[in-house]
Structure 1
Amino acid sequence: MGITTRDFVEDRLPEELKKVLLSVAANWGDVMDDLEALEVIKLNGAMTNEVYQINWPAKNGAVGRKVLVRVYGEGVEVFFNRDDEIRTFECISKQGKGPRLLGRFPDGRVEEFIHARTLSAADLRDPEISALIAAKMREFHNLAVPGPKNLIIWDRLRNWLCVAKSLCSSHDTQDFCLDTLGMEISMLDKELSQDYQEVGFCHNDLQYGNIMMDEETRSLTLIDYEYASYNPIAYDIANHFCEMAANYHSQTPHVLDYSQYPDLEERQRFVRIYLSSAGNQPSDAKVEQFVQDVEKYTLANHLFWGLWGIISAYVNKINFDYKEYARQRFGQYWLRKPALLGSSGKPQEDI
């Protein structure tokens, strides 16, 4: 159900958003004298920002206009640099790989509305759609995005741990074992950083809600680049696999179901399609090695989103049980670590 124009446009963003919308309408040749003509629809499922679809009638009774308005969540500046994210957005847009940036205002931005459907949790398990995602990820990882190509995963984890400790009560610090996580991050940094690993420009948050599909052409568009950066490509695929346990549109969006995590055959198929989309058929040995690397990087991913959940519980007002989400991610880390790395933190010979 849409919220009223008065609630959103007048009360929350009195003038700045109005000016951007009027400018966008004017650029399209529309005359929008009456802001009450706007139709505002709140889109569900976002956990960091609030997202709205805004419609208005086009000039001469043509097909109505649609834009997407993204209102930045409170406190998210602790997670990423907004200016860096905007530069990434504009770069990807100019390469024709994402929606166009139509305008900015202090608390958010206006984006091109993609005429495609957002994927559902079930779509990630569809073999045909999964194959499209694998090829699209390869294409995304090959994007030329300006800026340092240094990995940020380990520094970001350490920074987020410091933030989490500064925000948490002593009870939460003990409950989430935060005092031990510094050693865990260092151990993972040492064990997972291999000379042979491939680095690419990674999305780092490829959940189903950030993938859109044109039903006619079956083409995919990846959206929402807030966490995008250069990272090991195995980490990005690990993140995507972990997201298969989530359904953010359920009655309990914070609850993860790891029975939905892809089995070995599914992971092998995804990796093979990913590697072969570059034009060469990978050997079975390369596929197996890459699948193992991806599995190990799920550990870093659990810590990443576990810390995100703890911090979000203190800084974000969106209705989502961030602490319980964090508890599940950390629980999965401690559960899977012995099988993937051995109890001592050293990789086993056979995974």
Structure 2
Amino acid sequence: MVSLFLEEGLIEEQRLIEDYQESEKTFTITSWHPEGEFKYDELGREFREHPGILAPKLEDLFTKRNLYVASKLYEVIEDFWAEDEDQGDLLKLAFIAALPQATKMIPHTDSSGPSWKLPRYWIPYIREERNFCKSFLRRLILVRNFKNNWARVAEDYDVSAHFDYNSLPKLPLKMKRRVLILRCDARDLLESKTRADVIVMDPPHYDEIHYYELLYLWQKWLEGRYRDTRFSDYSFWRHEIDINRVVGRKLSDYLSSIVLLVNKSKKLVRKGGRIVLILHNRSSRTFSRTVDILRKEIDGSFKIEIEKYFPKLRSSAQGVHGKDKFLYLIRLERI
């Protein structure tokens, strides 16, 4: 009796899957969506985080049903953005926050809810297909609530955002009630005459996070069919601070960049001020080498204090793969 029930249940599930696969074939995607491959066009090399043969092209990373929905929705968002950029940007923010839910990268796990678990493009063997419209609406509500709360907190502040440090307007150094949001290479700020009490540096996680590669899918959507110039730079991978054998960056290059940043930041920190360096990794050996280099190469004007932390709770990715990841807090006090 139990065996018969299980057999009928499996047959019903099989029918459901077959019906789903047949219905998916009927979708014809006519709205704009980004095309291309996961590779460095200038080098002709595939990304280190390439999803493999299961998704050689960008569109292959999405379920056909969700790509159909996402492209239709983004077409409307871009048209709205063309008329009102500020409000359109908020819609774009909600869209890209929900975008992973439209892909095949959502594993089915018992340990946690559905999310993009790993910092790479991958297609799990057992996965879920989410309702992208619901995912987008949830993010849109979060954006709306944040906007309303932020508007109340910042109503007496002059808030501005800039995407190019070189075109930044000259600001009064002692101006109060001002929030400046600047998207640029942090190394550009080393030429600034500003003085700070604290500088926090949280560089990419050695060879574990490759931001250009992982932002590529989002950037292609954000550039959009209107070719938004804020997202048209596909060469910034040359300036990343990370370890990536595909583009020829080694651990020695990574550590040299960190040392250079810290030493050049000395003139920005007031006496008694601090630079806080946050480093993440799983390898004690790599950390030991890092600390040795820092102690040897960092300017003698700093007093170094090092603390090591283990996570009290694993992240969802660590829970799935059973790998602990810890961090070092390196405090450098200007003396």
Larger radius of gyration: 2
Which TM-score applies when normalising by structure 2? 0.30
The structure richer in helix per residue is: 1
